[in-house]
Amino acid sequence: MSIALGCIADDFTGASDLAAILARSGHKVGLRIGVPPANEDSPPSPFEVIALKCRTEPVDDAVTATKKAANWLMARGAGQLYWKYCSTFDSTPDGNIGPVSEALMARLGADQTIYCPAFPENGRSIYMGNLYVGDVPLDESPMRDHPLTPMRDANLMRLLAPQVAGKVGHIAWPDIAKGGAYIAGRLRALADSGVAHVVPDAISQADLAAISEAVQDFKLITGGSALALDLPRLLAAKGSVAATDADIISPATTDGNIVLSGSCSAMTRAQVADYSADAAAYRLDPLTLADGPDALDQARQWLAEQDPSAPKIIYATAEPADVAAAQEKLGRDKAGQVVEDALATLARDAFGHGVRRFVVAGGETSGAVTQALATDRLGVGREIAPGVPWCFAERDGQTFAITLKSGNFGTEDFFTRALKMLG
């Protein structure tokens, strides 16, 4: 079996998000944690997603990592790639979305691609080239104060243009509403005028379906996860994958559980407050963690004293002012790294204490925790919320469940609902 669609995600929550959307089709989806070894010989799934941790890495490092992932996927038959980034277009000022896209275009020999982070189910839409979160522009949403990728402009063309060498264009919603064939014609016209990077408007899932139809033969598609929803159907119609109506089956796990949260998004702050009202809670402070090992030792001791099966949460989630104060004293990178390192250690400890159900909030935290649990491949289970599935893996011969939640996803009771879903 060869890969019909090879996917590369810039963080771990985004990878599980995309895998969940693709798995709705009933097809088997492989979720790889990092680029597998070149000699990895397990049969690939028709849809393979490689989770990287490159959203805020230096541009050259991000390009190198994604090209390595592309090479692995293409060596196993993938002639079409999907570059997945956040539905809020998180990016450093110099990239990494644009530079990675151009590197993948060059690798595939593609002369045009699209950029469509819209996710209507989660309130992300694009209108006149501007990205909206709910009913407010991106730069007026809580993403304005994101600790790693503050988004100070809602216009995707202005955000993208400094990141790429090629020309940037736009397809407005009135043209999107005319359907896939018309969109394909607009794309060809833009290509004829030298436009390599196109931002299409999208305010509904029907818009995304029409866009998918128009770009189904593109060598490279880029966007959020929702754009991929119709691709399995389109690939099956062309015979690239077999039709299927298989159901998603989740393996059983024991009930030891923990919530680990490093995200400081507005929604995660609300989720932490909701869950902490009825669960044992321990807050990590990056400033005390940076002072020496005592703060982490105290957290580890607290965890060791908890009942594995009782509700509990360890979090570094904080208000924007507190995050800014920690970053000012420690620097942005160190402030994040001490939290990631601590939560990774606590995840390993939790497994040792009998925890087999991990709810993890935040992209960087998800990467650190997943790597700490030493797993390189996840099975994709049912979604808890749109784009947030339970995933399953093995460690030391035992199955554990893990969900990797993007900071802004889910409702306020997400943590409770996630754990109830496993029974």
The DSSP result for 68-116, as a single string, is: HHHHHHHHTT--SEEEE--TT---BTTBSHHHHHHHHHHHHT-S-EEEE
Q: Among 161-165, 229-233, 366-370, which stretch is predicted with the lowest mean pLDDT?
A: 366-370
Confirm whether 309 is domain-assigned. yes
Please give the average per-residue pLDDT across 24-50, as a whole number. 90
Query: Which of 237, 269, 291 is the last residue before a domain boundary?
Result: 237
Percent of the chain with pLDDT over 90: 73
Same domain, 216 and 279: no
Confirm whether 251 is domain-assigned. no
The CATH number of whichever domain residue 396 belongs to comes to 3.40.980.20
Same domain, 186 and 316: no
Task: Give the number of residues written for the chain.
Answer: 423
Same domain, 63 and 97: yes
Same domain, 43 and 127: yes
pLDDT score, position 173: 98
pLDDT score, position 411: 92
Please give the average per-residue pLDDT across 383-388, as a whole number. 90
Question: Residue 181 pLDDT more than 70?
Answer: yes
Question: Residue 146 pLDDT more than 80?
Answer: no
pLDDT tens-digit series, residues 62-94: 999 999 999 999 999 999 999 999 888 988 777
The DSSP result for 53-64, as a single string, is: --TTS-HHHHHH
Question: Residue 247 pLDDT more than 80?
Answer: no
Confirm whether 249 is domain-assigned. no
Q: Share the mean pLDDT of the chain.
A: 93
Confirm whether 243 is domain-assigned. no
Q: How far apart are the first and last CA of the chain?
A: 35
Same domain, 174 and 296: no
Question: Residue 152 pLDDT more than 90?
Answer: no
Tokens of 152: 């100070």
Question: Residue 1 pLDDT more than 80?
Answer: no
**Short-list 329, 360, 362, CA closest to 346:** 360
Confirm whether 87 is domain-assigned. yes
Q: Among 19-28, 123-132, 353-362, which stretch is predicted with the lowest mean pLDDT?
A: 19-28
**Short-list 374, 378, 347, 377, CA closest to 361:** 347
291 within 8 A of 391, measured Cβ to Cβ: no
Confirm whether 279 is domain-assigned. yes
pLDDT score, position 2: 87
pLDDT score, position 249: 67
Query: Which of 187, 208, 237 is the last residue before a domain boundary?
Result: 237
Tokens of 286: 């990056």
Same domain, 201 and 302: no
Q: Where are the beta strands (DSSP E) in 230-290?
A: 257-261, 280-283
190 within 8 A of 198, measured Cβ to Cβ: yes
Measure Cα distances from 140 to 86, 130, 145, 271, 356 in Å.
17, 12, 9, 21, 39
Q: Among 44-48, 355-359, 414-418, which stretch is predicted with the lowest mean pLDDT?
A: 44-48
Residue position matching structure tokens 């990631």: 340
User: What's the distance, CA 233 to chain centroid?
Assistant: 22
Confirm whether 408 is domain-assigned. yes
For residue 277, give the amino acid letter. Answer: A
pTM equals: 0.86
CB environment 187-206: b (16+ within 10 A), e (fewer): beebeeeebbbbbbbbbebe
Residue position matching structure tokens 């993938």: 78
The CATH number of whichever domain residue 54 belongs to comes to 3.40.50.10840
Same domain, 20 and 121: yes
Residue position matching structure tokens 């849809």: 47
pLDDT score, position 246: 64
Same domain, 155 and 280: no
Percent of the chain with pLDDT over 70: 98
Query: Which of 181, 204, 237 is the last residue before a domain boundary?
Result: 237
Number of domains in the chain: 2
Q: What is the domain range of residue 285? A: 257-421
Confirm whether 252 is domain-assigned. no
Same domain, 224 and 81: yes
User: What's the distance, CA 83 to chain centroid?
Assistant: 11
Angle at 90 between CA 146 and CA 170, to 5 degrees: 135
Measure Cα distances from 25 to 19, 115, 241, 272, 387 in Å.
10, 23, 11, 32, 13
Please give the average per-residue pLDDT across 361-386, as a whole number. 88
Question: Residue 8 pLDDT more than 70?
Answer: yes
Same domain, 311 and 176: no
pLDDT score, position 245: 63
Same domain, 137 and 228: yes
Question: Residue 252 pLDDT more than 90?
Answer: no
pLDDT score, position 20: 93
Same domain, 284 and 222: no
